[in-house]
Amino acid sequence: MNNYKKEISDKICYTDLVYGRINKKLNIDLSNDKIEEMILTILAETNETGYEKKGKNIYITNLERNIKLTINSNTNRIITADKLNKITRNRNIKS
């Protein structure tokens, strides 16, 4: 099993556009530094079982915070963050 958690935590990077996208998708208004701090906290809090690679992306699902992060597995660049809806949460809990 790959240790995506350590690799992503060590190498995560951001684009200028992703900060606005994360604020919009999560309906928050944080500075770039605060977004990076939040993402690193989510990565640290999420168990390795919450990391799933599908195609070129790694999806990190944190049920406690109700957030799913999407990260490009080649560049370790965060693409987006989404709130989980109830259907997704229930499906992940049953799995």
pLDDT of residue 2: 74
pLDDT of residue 80: 97
Domain ranges of the chain: 4-83
Does domain 4-83 fall into CATH 2.40.50? no
Average pLDDT over residues 41-66: 96
pLDDT of residue 40: 97
Average pLDDT, the chain: 91
Instruction: Report the C-alpha gap between 82 and 77 in whole angstroms.
Output: 15
Tell me how far the alpha carbon of residue 80 is from its chain's centroid. Answer: 7
Instruction: Report the C-alpha gap between 22 and 69 in whole angstroms.
Output: 10
Residue 1 has pLDDT above 80, yes or no: no
Please give the single-letter amino acid code of residue 83: K
What pTM was estimated for this model as a whole?
A: 0.87
Confidence of residue 3 (pLDDT cuts 50, 70, 90): confident
List the end-to-end C-alpha distance of the chain, in Å, as a whole number: 19
DSSP code string of 65-93: TTEEEEEETTT-BEEEEEEPPHHHHHHHH
pLDDT of residue 49: 94
